[in-house]
């Protein structure tokens, strides 16, 4: 079963703050300009000193705060009418302090491994209910059995800069993308590729956001 959020915490692993046990509900939020912008319920798969692995299952409903300033507008998924995660779910692998996650995707009726998605984002920050971050739009995708990776959303990233979403951070975000590309070009793999065969616990129900998820201070 998915365990509800516990009031106890303890010393943090991968990223500081409270730690989570396998099966715990972990609320992943995006925070923009010190304001909660988006949230989704995930399940802790592993929380060790070197790795925080979170699973976003199919059917998990997204949360969008009802009120706020939203200087860059509402979250794109809210604007686009996306209300829940679809497909086979995705696994998100985070290392402490790193400005990206390595996301694992599956596809098709056999749930075949689809590829690695290098999602540029703020390093995750622990909260009493989960983790906070902010997606940086710019990403890299390495499809299963492909010879190499491709860049994703380059033009959209430029558009987000024009919208003022990442003031003063454009160079740092691009540098992180270039760093990942250089590592991949050098044949380095800083994540365990056996995650491609990972299977979720069939006993896990689809988690839900807890009441007040958007009022916990970032």
| Span 118-134, pLDDT tens digits | 999 999 999 999 999 99
In sign, the C-alpha dihedral spanning 158, 162, 163, 168 is: positive
E strand or H helix at 154? helix 154-162
- pLDDT confidence of residue 42: 98
Sites in the chain below the pLDDT cut of 70: 1-17
Q: Where are the domains of the chain?
A: 25-187
* Strand blocks (E) in the chain: 25-32, 35-48, 51-56, 90-94, 100-107, 112-121, 125-126, 130-133, 135-143, 150-152
DSSP characters over 23-82: TBEEEEEEEETTEEEEEEEEEEEEEETTEEEEEE-TTPBPB--SS---TT-S-HHHHTT-
- pLDDT confidence of residue 11: 37
The CATH H-level superfamily of 25-187 is FomD-like (2.40.380.10)
- Give pLDDT tens digits for 94-127: 999 999 999 999 999 999 999 999 999 999 999 9
Helix (H, G, I), strand (E, B) or coil at 2: coil
Q: Which active-site residues does the annotation give?
A: 152
């Amino acid at each position: 079963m998915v365990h509800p959020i516990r009031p106890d915490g303890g010393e943090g692993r991968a990223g500081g703050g409270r730690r989570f046990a396998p099966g715990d509900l972990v609320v992943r939020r995006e925070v923009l300009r010190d304001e909660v912008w988006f949230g989704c319920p995930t399940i802790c798969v592993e929380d060790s000193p070197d790795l925080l692995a979170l699973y976003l299952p199919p059917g998990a409903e997204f949360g969008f705060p009802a009120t706020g300033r939203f200087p860059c507008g509402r979250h794109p998924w809210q604007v686009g009418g996306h209300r829940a995660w679809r497909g086979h779910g995705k696994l998100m692998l985070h290392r402490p302090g790193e400005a990206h996650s390595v996301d694992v995707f599956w596809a098709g009726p056999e749930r075949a491994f689809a590829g690695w998605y290098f999602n540029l984002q703020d390093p995750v920050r622990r909260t009493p209910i989960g983790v906070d971050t902010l997606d940086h739009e710019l990403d890299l995708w390495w499809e299963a059995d492909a010879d190499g990776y491709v860049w994703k959303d380059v033009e959209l990233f430029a558009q987000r800069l024009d919208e003022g979403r990442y003031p003063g951070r454009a160079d740092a975000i691009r540098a992180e993308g270039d760093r990942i590309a250089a590592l991949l070009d050098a044949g380095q793999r800083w994540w365990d590729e056996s995650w491609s065969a990972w299977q979720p616990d069939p006993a896990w129900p689809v988690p839900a956001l807890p009441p007040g998820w958007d009022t916990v201070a970032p």
